[in-house]
Amino acid sequence: ETGVTQSPTHLIKTRGQQVTLRCSSQSGHNTVSWYQQALGQGPQFIFQYYREEENGRGNFPPRFSGLQFPNYSSELNVNALELDDSALYLCASSLNMGLKETQYFGPGTRLLVL
Amino acid sequence: DAKTTQPTSMDCAEGRAANLPCNHSTISGNEYVYWYRQIHSQGPQYIIHGLKNNETNEMASLIITEDRKSSTLILPHATLRDTAVYYCIVKVIQGAQKLVFGQGTRLTINP
């Protein structure tokens, strides 16, 4: 519905592994934000990318990293996975231009770390 | 970003108006009020946002008090599909774009 897509939808990893999650932004949007949502909690801001540069970061360790590509799609990489990284990972796209900065979310990727 | 306070849960009968309150007493002049909702295990859905005037769209109406310290989201004719967690967020419209989610209000629409 929002035009924001994420892949994969579900993923199971083991502790210590690395994972890459992908997000395609809505057409015309140049900004992607990533959020982590633990069970029963509201989403927590991880970081944001604007024109391929990191444009703000939340309270997450450096093993959470990201990329944005020239077509504005984005990746979230998590190294050395821990059990507490099990969560729903959400990306949101927006157009960084004055009053049109509403963020639209994708369906999320559910990550389970065993 | 200013913090918001919402009731933990609310119930509403199907077909009636659902009125969800939000307190944001420390809101600054350049902060907008945003509402999102999240249906179980899906991504948050944008509903509406406003600065100081009341706003209406096809989903809902947003009523902001004159002093901007509180607001109410109104779903005029609630359906079972409106059962969700509703988040009220205040955010500066430019610059840092992160959304700070609280616990939200779990709205249950009863048949």
What does the pLDDT look like over B50-105, one tens digit per residue? 999 899 999 999 999 999 999 999 999 999 999 999 999 998 766 657 898 989 99
A105 touches chain B (CB under 8 A): yes
Quote the Cα angle for A47-A92-B104, to 5°: 90
What is the spatial distance between Cα B19 and Cα B72, in angstroms, rounded to a whole number? 6
From the list B34, B87, B97, the residue facing A56 with the nearest CB is B97
d(CA A80, CA A26): 30
Are residues B41 and A88, on separate chains, in Cβ contact within 8 Å? Answer: yes
Chain A residue numbers with beta carbons less than 8 Å from the beta carbon of B42 are 107-108
Altogether, the residues listed in chain B come to a count of: 111
Chain A: give the shortest CA distance to residue B40, in Å: 10
Convert the pLDDT of each residue in A57-68 to its tens digit.
Answer: 999 999 999 999
CA distance A32 to chain B (A): 10
Alpha helices in chain B (DSSP H): none
Instruction: For residue B21, give both structure tokens.
Output: 């309150």
pLDDT number for residue A2: 78
How many A/B residue pairs have CB atoms within 8 Å?
64
CA B1 vs CA A54, A59, B89, B94: distances in Å: 20, 15, 9, 12
Confidence bin at B29 (pLDDT 50/70/90): confident
- Please work out, in degrees rounded to the nearest 5, the angle formed at the alpha carbon of residue A12 by the alpha carbons of A7 and A13: 110
B40 confidence band (pLDDT: 50, 70, 90): confident
Q: Is B22 left (phi over 0), alpha (psi -120 to 50) or beta?
A: beta
Q: Which residues of A touch B46 (CB under 8 A)?
A: 2, 102-105
